[in-house]
């Protein structure tokens, strides 16, 4: 494990294998919370915290409990329980520290529990057989990629609100078209690593 391999994992998770725009995981918060940059950034930070901690805890649970007891078939249930517990913790922290962010995230904050990007990340870390350091780097990269995509999308959507858009495309249709164009743009990073 060298610094260059960790850098490749990080860049790959942010740009090449972006969870939203390349792997198509985490689309619900991407579309639901991306109307304002501040809200999108808050969601990105909450998901970053959950992804990082969930990756560490699920890795340790996999190695120290599931594999030791030979009960790997319980992996998905254990991972979902870990993620749900972390999301409850994040929700309580945000509610106490930033009530306005808590209000603006609304129902999407508890939905991090069912955000397939978080569960997908933990499962990918195990299937790729990453060690703990690689798991942490991959989680940080995936979370930064998630945050990058959702904040860029929110900035574009804010600009679209001020632009002249044909009536048939106003709202959700232009958002989907924009998301597809962003996904195509991120395909340009495919040969990077």
Q: pLDDT tens-digit profile of 32-86?
A: 877 889 888 988 888 888 899 999 999 999 999 999 999 999 999 999 998 888 8
Q: Which one, of 121, 112, 134, 148, lies nearest residue 14 by Cα? A: 148
Q: Which one, of 158, 115, 131, 109, lies nearest residue 19 by Cα? A: 115
Task: Look at residue 100 in the predicted model and tell me its pLDDT.
Answer: 85
Task: Choose the weakest-confidence range: 90-104, 128-142, 179-193.
Answer: 90-104
Surface-to-core class of residue 75, CB atoms within 10 Å of its CB (0-12 exposed, 13-18 middle, 19+ buried): middle
Kindly give, in sequence order, each residue whose CB lies less than 8 Å from that of residue 118, ignoring residues fewer than 6 positions away: 26, 47, 50, 51, 54, 83, 112
Whether 12 has a pLDDT exceeding 70, the answer reads: yes
Q: What is the pLDDT of residues 55-65, one digit of tens each?
A: 999 999 999 99
pTM for the model: 0.87
Q: How many CB atoms lie within 10 A of CB 132?
A: 13
Whether 93 has a pLDDT exceeding 70, the answer reads: yes
Q: Which one, of 79, 17, 10, lies nearest residue 50 by Cα? A: 79
Task: Look at residue 114 in the predicted model and tell me its pLDDT.
Answer: 66
At how many degrees (to 10) do helices 132-162 and 37-61 cross?
A: 160
Q: What is the pLDDT of residues 161-177, one digit of tens each?
A: 888 888 888 888 998 99
Average pLDDT of the residues in 165-190? 89
| DSSP secondary structure letter of residue 73 | G
Task: Look at residue 30 in the predicted model and tell me its pLDDT.
Answer: 84
């Amino acid at each position: 494990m060298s610094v260059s391999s960790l850098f490749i994992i990080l860049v790959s998770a942010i740009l090449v294998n972006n969870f939203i725009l390349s792997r198509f995981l985490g689309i619900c918060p991407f579309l639901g919370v991306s109307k304002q940059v501040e809200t999108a950034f808050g969601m990105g930070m909450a998901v970053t915290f959950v992804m990082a901690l969930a990756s560490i805890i699920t890795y340790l649970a996999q190695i120290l409990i599931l594999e030791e007891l030979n009960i790997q078939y319980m992996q998905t249930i254990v991972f979902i329980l870990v993620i749900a517990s972390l999301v409850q913790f994040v929700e309580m922290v945000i509610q106490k520290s930033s009530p306005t962010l808590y209000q603006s995230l609304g129902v999407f904050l508890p939905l991090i529990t069912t955000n397939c990007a978080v569960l997908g990340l933990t499962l990918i870390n195990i299937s790729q057989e990453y060690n703990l350091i690689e798991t942490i780097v991959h989680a940080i990269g995936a979370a930064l990629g998630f945050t990058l995509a959702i904040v860029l999308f929110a900035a574009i959507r804010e600009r679209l609100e001020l632009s002249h858009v044909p009536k048939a495309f106003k709202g959700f249709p232009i958002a989907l078209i924009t998301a597809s164009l962003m996904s195509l743009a991120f395909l340009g990073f495919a040969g990077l690593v």
